Amino acid sequence: MKFAPNANAFTIPVRVYYEDTDAGGVVYYANYLKFFERCRTEWMRSAGHDQRQLALDAGIGFVARKASCDYLRPAHLDDQLTVGLEVEKLTRVRVVFRQHVRRGDEELVTGTVEIACVDMASMKPAPIPDFLYAKLETLK
């Protein structure tokens, strides 16, 4: 699952805090999914959309449908990481993000997360609004 992000990839810096680690000072494996989520949320903000506001205005939300990770190398307490994303696949209702965590040029974790757009009232699949779909296409 190793990949090199394309020029359209979005990234954020993440510092590893004590709360992110296990007893050995290594990032606990499930926390990488939190880093991935944080990156997706910050991308949404940078695209001009707040998830809470989308729920209120458009009546939609995004839910994780599937996730997988390859853990290549550990991150440790106080490491400065880069967490990134790009779009691997986009449909009218779902988006599959390729995500990664790096320390400098060293790739630590890669993964994919499939997100589905849902109607917040019924929690049934709903189309991704055109204004957001167009922005997601730029991450391909």
Q: Which residues are catalytic?
A: 22
Cα-atom radius of gyration of the chain, to the nearest Å?
Answer: 15
111, 67 contact by CB (below 8 A): yes
**β-sheet bridge partners, residue 107:** 102
Sole residue written with tokens 């391909």: 140
* Alpha-carbon span 72 to 53, nearest angstrom: 36
Residue 3: closest CA among 130, 125, 97, 126: 97
Instruction: Give DSSP secondary structure letters for 35-50.
Output: HHHHHHHHHHHHTT--
95, 139 contact by CB (below 8 A): no
